[in-house]
Structures are given as structure tokens and as C-alpha cells.
Amino acid sequence: MAPLTWDVFCKVIDNHGDLGVCWRLAAQLAERGHRVRLWVDDASALAWMAPGGAAGVEVRPWRGEPPTGLPRGDVLIEAFGCDIPTDWVLTVAPRPGPWINLEYLSAEAYVERMHRLPSPVMNGPLAGRTKHFFYPGFTAATGGLLREPDLLARQARFDRSAWLQHHAPGWSGEQVISLFCYEPVNLGAWLDHLRQPDQPPTHLLVAPGRPTAAVRQHLGDADRHGPLHITWRPHCSQHDSDELLWASDLNVVRGEDSLVRALWAGKPLIWHIYPQDDGAHHAKLQAFLGWLGAPADMCAQHAFWNADVPEPLPAHDPHNWAPAVVAARQRLLAQSDLLSQLLAHLGGL
């Protein structure tokens, strides 16, 4: 495909997830020779998420009135239903062209039904244009997941011991857990379990922001609690975040971007899914665990982490989860990545 100019629009709700996905998409497009204008209402997290930027990606502010004298774009990406105003559409894409609504990730059955469906605009200034829904997903009937061509090679070269010696001060071979969560109601019970004298030594790598605040609310600022040793992590780039996941024995993740990266890491994981007021996240979580083929204790642990009320910690052994995660990773690797599918989709329009 000849190089195109892509306009990717992103509205930040949780900057680790929505902006993370949009940046990965923009950077991978640029690596394939395309030009990308990433329009975002709050790009501040890119200072640590992608500190070096990416050649071919121009980050532009999305607020107020659209700019004037803008060169025409070729492809319009509306990420996560961010609802681009009409005047902005007419400015960045003055001629009808491909308009993609890149949707949220889910393993629920509706994703396969809705993937690639057209949504024509019937009236108003945009009448005659057609938006296509593009759904990421976990099966061959969906749009797949973002994956860099060199991801496996990078992981194969990774030196876990050297990384932990540098990033987890005091690590001496104990199990490593990375923690990136919201404020689960049962977090305190989980932390209390890890610090019991009869538990194996654990090095907990806690993400900054809300995870650090939640852990400190329960344990205080100390980094030693019996067999539990805590390292308070700083913000890090997407590249460094991958290495964190590779280095850990268990990854607790939350947003769409971190879930996908944890799957590529191939390690046991817990998904603390974003809670929704109507409880829809529970169905979404169950669909994911069903696709994953999660063993019973992994499902029970996910119910504990995503419970609405305090519950006792169920018996579990994350080592037993590894075969299901590795098998799921192999299924995903056998499928085409999201960007390749997106380019093929445009070629067929």
C-alpha cells in the first residue's frame, strides 16, 4: 500500500489504555511508512509513555476549533467511539474516504457479528460517507490484536535476571508480581495474604499513581512486610513496560493495552477489569476467561479481584495457569495482527 496520511483521534479517559493503544497504532503505521497525525485532548502521558516520540507521528491537540489550512488526510480513525465533531471531520478529511471506528476489545460474541460492519451517514453535512466498525478481538473472525513484527525477537533477547537486578533492588530469586490495578475492594486481603509469615518471599512491583496510592492506603509507605518486599515503580515507557511484564511471574493488569501486552508476555495474569455502573464488565470478563480456557482457580481469583463486596481469598496457584495462557498466546500468534488486518480491510474498500 502506498504511504497514506492517517488522522487518529483519541479522547483520554484512562491515559494508560486508550492513549496507549492509539500510540501503538500510530507508531506501527509510521514504521510501515505512513504519516500519522495523532489528535488527542490530553497528550501529557506521552512524555513518559513514548518519551522519544516516533518518526512519522505528529501529535496534535484536539480541542476548540479545528485548525485551518490543514493538508488533506486519507484515512480517519475514530478510536473507541470518541465522537469526532462534524467540523473536525470536514477539516481533516474534506473528501469522503475510509473512516474507521476502532472499537473496544472484548471476547463477547457480538464482536464477531459487528466486526467490519458499515454505518452510512444518511443526512447532514457528512451524508454519503460511511463509517466501518473495526473490532479488535481474540479470534480469527475479529480484527486481532496489535503486535509489532519484532516483538518475539525482543522477548527472546530479554535478560530477566539483569533487568530485575537493576529495577527490583534487593531481588534475590523470589517470585515477582507486577501490580497495575484500580482500587479493588479485596486488595487489602490479597496484600495481607502475601505478607503472612508462612507465605513464600514475594517481590511486588507496584505501578505509580492509583495502584501505589491503593497499596499505601493499606500498608503505608514501608517497603518490607515480612516475606513481602515492595518496589514502588516510576512511570515507564511502553518498551520498559513490556520488559516489566516479561520479568514478572504474575502480572496483575487493568486496561485494554496492558491486558494485551500481558498476553504477549505469556505469563500468568489477573485482569482487574474497568468496573462499569451497569455491571457489564462481569459479562466481558467471563467471556475473556472462557476464550482463555482459564482453570477453575484462575476464574475464582478473577472473581475475587473484580468482586463488588469483600470476599475471602480463594485457594489458587498461578503456576497452574501458565499452560492456558501460553496456549492462548500461541492461538493469537497464529492470527494476523490488527494493523495488518486493518490495512487489508482498507485495500478491500
Catalytically active residues are 18, 256
Bridge partners (DSSP) of residue 131 are: 99, 119
Three-state secondary structure call for residue 184: coil
Does residue 117 contact residue 134 with C-beta atoms inside 8 Å? no
Using CA atoms, how far apart are residues 141 and 118, in angstroms rounded to an integer? Answer: 16
Closest CA to 169 of 240, 224, 87: 224
Would you give the DSSP letter of residue 51? Answer: T
Query: With the C-alpha atoms ordered 251, 107, 308, 275, is the resulting torsion angle positive or negative?
Result: positive
Using CA atoms, how far apart are residues 51 and 109, in angstroms rounded to an integer? Answer: 38
In which region does residue 193 sit, left (phi positive, over 0), alpha (psi from -120 to 50) or beta (all else)? alpha
Three-state secondary structure call for residue 33: coil
In which region does residue 149 sit, left (phi positive, over 0), alpha (psi from -120 to 50) or beta (all else)? alpha
Using CA atoms, how far apart are residues 281 and 278, in angstroms rounded to an integer? Answer: 8
Using CA atoms, how far apart are residues 33 and 55, in angstroms rounded to an integer? Answer: 10
Strand order in the sheet with 130-134: 57-61, 35-40, 5-10, 75-79, 99-102, 130-134, 118-120
Helix 238-247 to helix 160-167 angle, to the nearest 10 degrees?
Answer: 110
Using CA atoms, how far apart are residues 19 and 34, in angstroms rounded to an integer? Answer: 19
Residue type for position 256: E
**What contacts 109, CB < 8 A, 6 or more positions away?**
287
Question: What does residue 171 show for φ and ψ, rounded to 5 degrees?
Answer: -65, 135
